[in-house]
Amino acid sequence: MENTKTANGSEQQLARLLDKLNAEVNWDIFLWMLRNTRKMAWIPPWDDIMMFKTTLIQEWNRLSDTETEEMINERSAMQKFLKMASWEKAPDENNIRLFKEQIGTEGMKELFDLFGDHLENLGLIKRERRYIAV
């Protein structure tokens, strides 16, 4: 019984955190970069912001594409974060991989950096800056 309470508590905590991100982050600022960093004209079955949020979930939890798909399908807080309808399935591992390939390694790094800067500007995170003495 204790494990259930802990699991429910952590799910609620996760839900609050993801709700806060959805409420405070201006996701539209990422659209231009998402649409202009693709290597080819690939139209995913899911919108760009949903796919970007999927990669954030993957990065935060250090998951494979398959594990990301499974985790999203199992966690209602993540489904809500992605604004999925109750009947929808998460992006599958192939579409997650294709999305990342289309954005490219450098493009994904730029997106994650922009996201981190945005969170810092909102006061949601504080990053330590390191400077090298010359």
pLDDT for the residue numbered 50? 94
Quote the pTM value: 0.82
pLDDT for the residue numbered 49? 93
Residue 28 in tokens = 């539209």
CA-based nearest residue to 117, from 132, 108, 127: 127
Check: CB of residue 72 under 8 Å from CB of residue 92.
Answer: no
pLDDT for 43 beyond 90: no
Confidence category of residue 1, pLDDT binned at 50, 70, 90 = very low
pLDDT for 87 beyond 50: yes
Round the average pLDDT of the chain to a whole number and report it. 85
pLDDT for 4 beyond 60: no
pLDDT for 29 beyond 70: yes
Check: CB of residue 111 under 8 Å from CB of residue 30.
Answer: yes
Residue 7 in tokens = 């699991």
- Higher per-residue pLDDT: 53 or 104: 53
CA-based nearest residue to 15, from 75, 67, 72: 75
pLDDT tens track for 47-76: 889 999 999 999 999 999 999 999 999 999
